[in-house]
Structure 1
Amino acid sequence: MQTHFDTIIIGGGPGGLAAAYSLAEQQSVLVVENDLWGGTCPNRGCDPKKMLYSAVEALDNQQALQTNGLVGTSAINWSELMAFKRSYTQQIPTGTLNGLQHAGIQTVTGTAHFSDTQTLQINGDTYTADHFIIATGQTPTLPTIEGHDLLQTSNEFLDLDRLPEKVAFIGGGYIAIELANIAVTAGAEVHIIQHNEHILRDFPKVLTHKLVTSLQEKGIHFHFDTDVTTITQTSNQLTLSNQANFKLTVDAAFAAMGRKPNIDQLALEKAGVTANQHGIQVNDHLMSSNPRVFAIGDVVDRVQPKLTPVAGFEGRYVANQLLAKKTAPITYPLIPHTVYASPQISQVGVSVATAQAAPNQYRINQQTVTNWYTFNRIQESDAMVITIFDNQTNQLVGAAAYTTIAEELINYFTNLIKHQTTATELTDTIYNYPSPASDLKYYY
């Protein structure tokens, strides 16, 4: 049994896999995974979530066109929708493992922990390496309140055999909003409990306020400025309460209050790796306090959004460093991100908050586009696009969108910002017409 490798990667998710495949042709590589091969995103994260969201999109579009050519409405069959999701997710672990082995990459299923700066213990066996890449990701957190063990997380929601009739989500971030939207569209009574007055804190308030209204119209009940301090179980139901006379009884409750880095079992102190509650601390080469150990993906303490494409980008960057193909500090490309709700909210580049704080530097163009042909055709009830320009160069530097096609628009804007495309260049470009792309020049 081989026990020494050029690089050992802890974590078989998108970041770890990107690094492994990049290294495999020139190095001996071992990948260690203690849960589902493939990681959170394809097994119990963004991929299965968006498969469930496919039915939500279809119903939203159908509802928008009622009395405008469509007659009758459909309904979500939860068991069939879950079977559709599982037809994808059930193949991921085996497919991932087979792909690694076919590429000549060694694999071990088990929990790794360091015994010193260059040694791992896995399933009682000892492994050493010249370098290590930690790509263990994050896991959902539970609040430290009485009865917290009665809560479920996104992991359980995305694999429910039966959708409960009445559910609550504690939190106002991505996970709460996206899963609540799926649940209410599928017919559940849905409550969102948020400790302050805002959802999706990283997105423009003008857009998140619109989304709250839209979700309320869908039937979601928001409980703002509310903390849950106690959860009790009676028969088959849960009661969520606090000392300010808040009381809500539901069939199931889900914690959606953020995620924490998966580092508890690694024994990082034995490897001389510094970490905090936000993750492993790295330099601008993604190297930890131990020069043998790198960290990538959601387990890293960094300001960039914790998204699957970012993890893959970091995995390839570290691999190139270890192969001496790249020595410069990491520089991140534009990172678009989207909340898949009804409608979607997307943004990229300079944020609205940053632009508002520096009016001498940036110009904000906020447009209600509901009546534009593109949005009228699909009967959008309320659509808005915000574009941000640098005052000196007049270049597009940021964008945000509130519309059912926000993810498509934000990808266009990402490309325009990256290539510093001007209004004149857009005017001289012919796109399919009529389409969202043919509108781009009007956002300048």
Structure 2
Amino acid sequence: MEREYDVIVIGTGVAGSDVAWHCREAGMRIAITDHQTYGGTCALRGCVPKRVLAGAAEVVARVHDQQGRGIRGEVSIDWPQLLAFERSFTDPIPRRKEERFRRAGIHTCRGFARFAGPDRVAIGDDLFSARYIVIATGAHPRPLDVPGADLVTQSDDFFYLETLPERIVFIGGGYISFEFAHVAARAGAKATILQRSGRVLKGFDHDIVDRLVQASREVGIDVQMNMPLLSVEKTAAGLLVRAGREGEEETFEADMVVHGAGRVPAIEGLDLAAGGVETDRRGIRVNEYLQSVSNPAVYVAGDANPGGVQLTPVAVRDAHIVVDNILNGNARAADYWVVPSAVFTNPPIASVGLTEEAAKEKGIPYIVHAGDLSERFTNRGINQKHVGYKLLIDGDSRRILGAHLIGHHVEEVINIFALAIKHGLTVDDLTLDAIAWAYPSNTYDIIHMVHPLVRM
């Protein structure tokens, strides 16, 4: 028997869930499915558990930094207890989410979905048809094509380790590896990051990243550049990782190897060809309305949208765009011009707007203003040594084009710069004459970032 709906949503993360709920509120008949536990990456294998682990690492880092400055006595992470606390956040989510769907009148399914035609989806032995099909399947770790890849632990599984290994090698120099490495190091493990190229965290400003690498090495994290993974093999002592360029290979001993080398849209197995959904090497081809260029019944939201950014707030906004376009006939285009992002290390880094590389590539003239804020009492008072900023300014209009920060609470401060860029504010709009910022606070330190520019 074939069931008919207005919208079928594939994926129960933040993007898929928002599409389902908002379309249901508009009176549409909705079905949603997932082959994994309901909840998606952010809630179960990403942002939520990561923030819990990062919060514990931050406490240890703060106590360590203030030893001899009015604080004495060591603290340490009790890994099993921390994991139990983390799971108090994640374990209830699947049941709550399914119950909420059902209370809203959304039909819930479980299993792998595959296209059975332009407007049809098969889930197991059941067939569903719909006016619209929304793909919100998220992303998964990029396949590693090296001998011993089966010995590598997926980053998703790091959140559910019953015990923390003593020696961990992280493959890839992106935010996943850095965040996990900082947690592992503060929990007492020996952490190594292997980056295939000469630069880590490529989406962030290189000067800010250099300071984070220095801070990482100071807490014992071994950051290795130009170390592409060659193989992983099992030994009597654990795992042996081979990496490096030809003729310059090195080996690293580990108890666990964690995949942090990027994620790709999770769209294999959907049988997109059967649905007439075109793909390219990046994923599903969509137009500015997040609609398949080859099948107008299909929309894409979240990580499965290769043109977006793999961040939860972006997935939520994608979902809202898809809902608007389903309900109102492609009334809203997507744009990813202002997307703040942060890496939850110790200290964290954050970025929004143009980097110098991007500005040069686009031919946009700019002025750089950079500085160190470690001697500001807000930072010196907690012994934060790695605190700095880089601002990109339009020399004529004085508008802020980009902001790149490292230091305590920068994951919050960056949102001020995001608003400034979004609304075309100038450096003068951020001064004390314009806004009486709360004091003392890290946000108030914006005054010291822009003050010399006011006299330009």
TM-score, normalising length from structure 1?
0.95
Contact 2:169 2:258 in 1 (8 A): yes
Which secondary structure state, in structure 2, belongs to the residue aligned with residue 27 of structure 1?
Answer: coil
CA offsets 1:214-245 (integer angstroms, 9 cap, x no match): 11111111222122322211236111125644
Contact 1:33 1:110 in 2 (8 A): yes
**Could you tell me which amino acid in structure 1 is paired with residue 125 of structure 2?**
G
Which secondary structure state, in structure 2, belongs to the residue aligned with residue 128 of structure 1?
Answer: strand
**Could you tell me which amino acid in structure 1 is paired with residue 138 of structure 2?**
G
Counterpart selection for 1:316 from 306, 316, 320:
320
Indicate yes or no: 2:422 matched with 1:418. yes
Contact 1:142 1:255 in 2 (8 A): no
Which residue in 1 is equivalent to 2:387?
383
Which secondary structure state, in structure 1, belongs to the residue aligned with residue 153 of structure 2?
Answer: coil
Which residue in 1 is equivalent to 2:302?
297
Q: Could you tell me how far apart the structure 1 residues matched to 2:225 and 2:401 are? A: 33
Which secondary structure state, in structure 1, belongs to the residue aligned with residue 447 of structure 2?
Answer: helix
Which residue in 2 is equivalent to 1:225?
226
Q: Could you tell me how far apart the structure 2 residues matched to 1:214 and 1:226 are? A: 20
Which residue in 2 is equivalent to 1:119?
120
Q: Could you tell me how far apart the structure 2 residues matched to 1:419 and 1:371 are? A: 31
Indicate yes or no: 2:45 matched with 1:40. no
Q: Could you tell me how far apart the structure 1 residues matched to 2:258 and 2:204 are? A: 23
Indicate yes or no: 2:5 matched with 1:5. yes
Q: 1:120 to 1:77 in 2, by over 3 A?
A: same
Q: Could you tell me how far apart the structure 1 residues matched to 2:29 and 2:415 are? A: 37
Which secondary structure state, in structure 2, belongs to the residue aligned with residue 229 of structure 1?
Answer: strand
**Could you tell me which amino acid in structure 1 is paired with residue 437 of structure 2?**
Y
In terms of mean alpha carbon deviation, does 421-430 or 314-323 score higher? 421-430
**Could you tell me which amino acid in structure 2 is paired with residue 275 of structure 1?**
T
For residue 358 of structure 1, report the CA deviation from its aligned partner: 7.1
Counterparts of residues 203-222 of structure 1 (less than 5 Å): 203-222=204-223
For residue 132 of structure 1, report the CA deviation from its aligned partner: 0.6
CA offsets 1:28-65 (integer angstroms, 9 cap, x no match): 11111110211011101121111100011111111221
Which residue in 2 is equivalent to 1:367?
371
Which secondary structure state, in structure 2, belongs to the residue aligned with residue 99 of structure 1?
Answer: helix
Indicate yes or no: 2:310 matched with 1:306. yes
Q: 1:357 to 1:265 in 2, by over 3 A?
A: closer
Which residue in 2 is equivalent to 1:342?
346
Q: Could you tell me how far apart the structure 2 residues matched to 1:101 and 1:199 are? A: 44
Which residue in 1 is equivalent to 2:20?
20
CA RMSD of aligned residues (A): 1.8
Q: Could you tell me how far apart the structure 2 residues matched to 1:14 and 1:57 are? A: 26
Q: Could you tell me how far apart the structure 2 residues matched to 1:286 and 1:384 are? A: 37
Contact 2:321 2:332 in 1 (8 A): no
Q: Could you tell me how far apart the structure 1 residues matched to 2:332 and 2:39 are? A: 29
In terms of mean alpha carbon deviation, does 75-84 or 64-73 score higher? 64-73
Q: Could you tell me how far apart the structure 2 residues matched to 1:439 and 1:189 are? A: 35
For residue 438 of structure 1, report the CA deviation from its aligned partner: 2.4
Which residue in 1 is equivalent to 2:441?
435
For residue 156 of structure 1, report the CA deviation from its aligned partner: 1.4
Q: Could you tell me how far apart the structure 1 residues matched to 2:375 and 2:446 are? A: 15
Which secondary structure state, in structure 2, belongs to the residue aligned with residue 323 of structure 1?
Answer: helix
**Could you tell me which amino acid in structure 2 is paired with residue 47 of structure 1?**
V
Which residue in 2 is equivalent to 1:262?
266
Contact 1:116 1:270 in 2 (8 A): yes
Contact 2:208 2:389 in 1 (8 A): no
Counterparts of residues 88-127 of structure 1 (less than 5 Å): 88-127=89-128
Q: Could you tell me how far apart the structure 1 residues matched to 2:224 and 2:425 are? A: 43
Q: Could you tell me how far apart the structure 1 residues matched to 2:424 and 2:376 are? A: 25
Counterpart selection for 1:278 from 256, 268, 282:
282
Q: Could you tell me how far apart the structure 2 residues matched to 1:301 and 1:79 are? A: 37
For residue 69 of structure 1, report the CA deviation from its aligned partner: 1.1
Q: Could you tell me how far apart the structure 1 residues matched to 2:361 and 2:147 are? A: 41
Which residue in 1 is equivalent to 2:454?
none
Which secondary structure state, in structure 2, belongs to the residue aligned with residue 24 of structure 1?
Answer: helix
Which residue in 1 is equivalent to 2:67?
66
For residue 306 of structure 1, report the CA deviation from its aligned partner: 1.1
Q: Could you tell me how far apart the structure 2 residues matched to 1:225 and 1:438 are? A: 39
Which secondary structure state, in structure 2, belongs to the residue aligned with residue 222 of structure 1?
Answer: strand
Q: Could you tell me how far apart the structure 2 residues matched to 1:193 and 1:419 are? A: 39
Indicate yes or no: 2:409 matched with 1:408. no
Contact 2:278 2:285 in 1 (8 A): yes
TM-score, normalising length from structure 2?
0.93
For residue 441 of structure 1, report the CA deviation from its aligned partner: 2.8
Which secondary structure state, in structure 1, belongs to the residue aligned with residue 168 of structure 2?
Answer: strand
Q: Could you tell me how far apart the structure 2 residues matched to 1:433 and 1:333 are? A: 31
Indicate yes or no: 2:175 matched with 1:169. no
Indicate yes or no: 2:401 matched with 1:397. yes
Which residue in 1 is equivalent to 2:453?
none
For residue 250 of structure 1, report the CA deviation from its aligned partner: 1.0
Determine what percentage of the aligned residue pairs are the same residue. Answer: 31
In structure 2, runs of 5+ residues without a counterpart are: 451-456
Q: 1:223 to 1:38 in 2, by over 3 A?
A: same
Q: Could you tell me how far apart the structure 1 residues matched to 2:335 and 2:282 are? A: 21
Q: 1:360 to 1:46 in 2, by over 3 A?
A: closer
Q: Report the count of equivalent residues.
A: 443
